[in-house]
Amino acid sequence: MLGKYIAGVLSQMPIDIVDGYLEPFCGALGVLKRMSGLFKKCEASDIHCDLIKLWKKVKNNTFRPPNTMNEKKYFKIKNMKSPNALKAFVGFGCSFGGKYFSAFAQKYTGSKKEDFLQAAKNSINKLRPYIQNVKFRCTSYDKLKPKNKLIYCDPPYKFKRFPVKYRNNVKKYDVFDTNKFWKIMRKWSMNNINVISEIKAPSDFVCIWEKKKYRSISQSKKTRFKNPNNKKYSTEKLFIHESYF
């Protein structure tokens, strides 16, 4: 998990001069849960409406996870109407690789004694105390107009071979406009401390931290990922605009 390392870098920023913390791509809250205690005001947003619905209910302690899960129930929940907190819980927590409704994870445990449902329950219970001061919103990052915030952005990463895609309205994937993203990052950097996760950034953004990360996908015979070459390292980096220095 890189969250603790990224939070370590963010916590060294001059947080005493900003008026709160913002994550416009909050996702699973891996960084936010380590940062929320440093601020009175925290905002988190994401375009995934099911996910934001889940975090709101977890915060208010009104979410009731299912007691059991099987493949039939998994696909029934997948077809429920959004926004739906249960869809997010099952779609991420009970799916193969933690990817939204990629496949029913329990099907691929084999002889391993893994309980993905219980693990997902444990995760949200541990998370709840850390998000009590967080305001959640379902919105696209480009609709935000932050000022005097410490911002951490973890956008869909750009790849050389394929267009960058991200889930919009939870039913389809749209192409993420990377050029537009960096233009907005320049604007935000004028009156915020704006830190961005990526592998590569435009030349006017400076790398302030990096860590080599091992990325792999399952080699299970029950899945389509059978190629032994599907193992690789990549370097996770944090960038900040040159105007900060």
Query: Does residue 6 sit in helix, strand or coil?
Result: helix
Mean pLDDT of 40-51: 96
Label residue 221 by pLDDT band (50, 70, 90). Answer: very low
Task: Please state, for a pLDDT cut of 90, what percent of the chain lies above it.
Answer: 76
pLDDT of residue 176: 87
> 210 φ, ψ to 5°?
-155, 155
Report the alpha-carbon distance of residue 225 to residue 230 in Å, rounded. 8
Sorted by where each begins, the domain ranges of the chain are 3-244
Task: Name the DSSP letter for residue 16.
Answer: G
pTM for the full predicted model: 0.87
Label residue 223 by pLDDT band (50, 70, 90). Answer: very low
Report the alpha-carbon distance of residue 82 to residue 185 in Å, rounded. 30
Q: What is the pLDDT of residues 194-207, one digit of tens each?
A: 999 999 999 999 99
Give one DSSP letter per residue of 144-191, joined into a string: ----S-EEEE-PPPP-SSS--EEEETTTEEEE--HHHHHHHHHHHTTS
- CATH architecture observed for domain 3-244: 3-Layer(aba) Sandwich (3.40)
Mean pLDDT of 68-72: 96
Q: Centre a 10 Å sphere on the Cβ of residue 100 and count the other Cβ atoms it contains.
A: 17
pLDDT of residue 168: 45
Q: What is the pLDDT of residues 162-215, one digit of tens each?
A: 444 444 444 555 678 999 999 999 999 999 999 999 999 999 999 999 998 765
Helix axes 85-93, 49-60, angle to 10 degrees: 100
pLDDT of residue 58: 98
Using a 10 angstrom Cβ sphere, with 0-12 exposed, 13-18 middle and 19 or more buried, the burial of residue 143 is exposed
Are the CB atoms for 88 and 95 separated by under 8 Å? no
pLDDT of residue 215: 55
